[in-house]
Structure 1
Amino acid sequence: MTAQTLTGSLLVATPLLDEPPFRRSVILLLDHDDDGALGVVVNRAADLAVDRVLPDWSDTVNEPGVLFMGGPVGTDSALAVAEVIESADPPGWRECFGRIGLIDLDVPPELLVGAIQRMRIFAGYAGWSAGQLEGEITEGAWYVVESEPDDVFSLDPETLWRRVLRRQTDQLAYLATYPDDPTHN
């Protein structure tokens, strides 16, 4: 498996990865190559409305209109992940895969009107140095599965971990029923 094949994939935390901030997390890999990987946790909505921290962008983001906790790295910075309409190439846009990419939050939002189909803003990100993610996958910390465009923009992010596992066509689907606390099983 080459490093580039993981861009656009989801990392789904295995039950063995039971420590915050990655317990039951679903991470969308935005960039993955020989130098490392960068992604955002897509199922951790924060209790902070976008209009309180980035009011100019509050009309651009999708419901629920809150910041998402993208990961433990750079939590004082924000990444905007967007899906642009077909054939759009708006200013400040960097394609990651397909029509999903990053928007530069320094670009005035009015320059992007009509180009953005959906958008979420993440405080922080998850990052790995060269070879680190591959090691964690080998150790059994992550399942690597295909992403669907709706994953990053889910209206019910709290249930995404189970839903992503449930839609798998192999034994991973059974893990969707894994108890929150196996000692109470």
Structure 2
Amino acid sequence: MSSGMSEAEYLSGRLLLAMPGMGDARFDHAVVAMCVHDEHGALGIGIGHVRDGITLHGLLEDVGIDPGVAPDVPILNGGPVETARGFVLHSNDWGGEGSVTVNSLCDLSASMDVLRAIAEGRGPSRYLVALGYAGWGAGQLEGEMRRHGWYAAQGRPEILFETPTGRRWQQAWKREGIDPSHLVAQTGSA
């Protein structure tokens, strides 16, 4: 592999936690579920912040799907790239067109199939819907990991599906055994 990283070092299935003071306001207290990471780059879906002004019913109506039995849950801000494109992170008890397994963390679907299934009550038992994603080119995330930017936490489905959106960053740190109030905004250099 040209990047020098072994497959075990790739971060698919992990949760990236933004370090305090990383310098990019778009990712303040971000929690990113890493879906793809290989020598070509990385793609993750932000799960730490709600997208203002839109809920699942509004999104379904915008794409021509009757909301049916779908609960009117908030839509997450998945990231700054392709902010009109929808993604669903979900439990592995549903699989449809284009559904991809992300290790044991979750499955990822970006097709209308999963939205129709949710509206009709035959979708996955647990899911999050996001607009946009976070993307990195080849080697870019590796560079950010070496600088003061991200911490790669274990991918825990309960952080996605059982923890309220606004508490995911803090709870993910705590599950790592780290009190986030003790984190500093700068790293030193020796």
1:22 to 2:27 alignment: yes
**2:12 corresponds to 1:7:** yes
**Could you tell me which amino acid in structure 1 is paired with residue 155 of structure 2?**
S
Structure 2 residue aligned with 1:96: 102
Is contact 2:34–2:43 with CA below 8 Å preserved after alignment?
Answer: yes
Q: Residue 180 of structure 1: CA displacement?
A: 11
SS at match of 2:112: coil
Q: Is the 8 A contact 1:82 1:119 kept in 2?
A: yes
SS at match of 2:90: strand
SS of the residue aligned with 1:84? coil
| Post-superposition CA distance 1:43-91 (Å, at most 9, x none) | 11123211112143856767x7111100001102111211122xx5434
Matching residue's letter, 1:28: A
The number of residues matched between the two structures is 175
Instruction: Kindly report the root-mean-square deviation, in angstroms, between the aligned alpha carbons of the 2 structures.
Output: 2.9
- What TM-score comes out, normalization by structure 1 length? 0.80
**For the residues of structure 2 that align with 1:124 and 1:8, how far apart are their CA atoms?**
18
Q: Which residue does the alignment assign to 2:58?
A: 52
The separation in 1 between residues aligned to 2:66 and 2:111, in whole angstroms, is 8
Task: Structure 1: state its 5+ residue gaps.
Answer: none
Corresponding residue for residue 161 of structure 1:
169
Percent identity over the alignment? 25
Richer in strand (by share): 1
Aligned mate of 1:109, from 113, 116, 119 = 116
- Structure 2 CA distance for partners of 1:59 and 1:3, relative to 1, 3 Å: farther
Aligned match for 1:139, one of 138, 147, 151: 147
Match in the other structure for 1:39:
44
- Which letter does structure 2 place at the counterpart of 1:12? L
Task: Pick closer, same or farther for the CA change 1:77–1:115 going to 2, 3 Å.
Answer: closer
Q: CA 1:59–1:129 in 2, change beyond 3 Å: closer, same or farther?
A: farther
Unaligned runs of 5+ in 2: none
- The range that moved more, 142-151 or 152-161, is 152-161
Q: Structure 2 vs 1, CA of residues 61 and 150 (structure 1 numbering), >3 Å: closer, same or farther?
A: farther
Maintained 8 Å contact 1:61/1:121: no
CA distance 1:144–1:60, change in 2 (3 Å): farther
Provide Cα deviations, 1:74-130, integer angstroms capped at 9, x if missing partner.
Answer: 102111211122xx5434422222362222432272498545121111110000001
Equivalent pair of 2:47/2:78 in contact (CA under 8 Å): yes
- C-alpha contact (below 8 Å) 1:61/1:119 kept by paired residues: no
Evaluate the alpha carbon distance shift between residue 65 and residue 82 of structure 1 in structure 2; reply closer, same or farther with a 3 A threshold: same
The Cα shift of 1:11 comes to 0.7
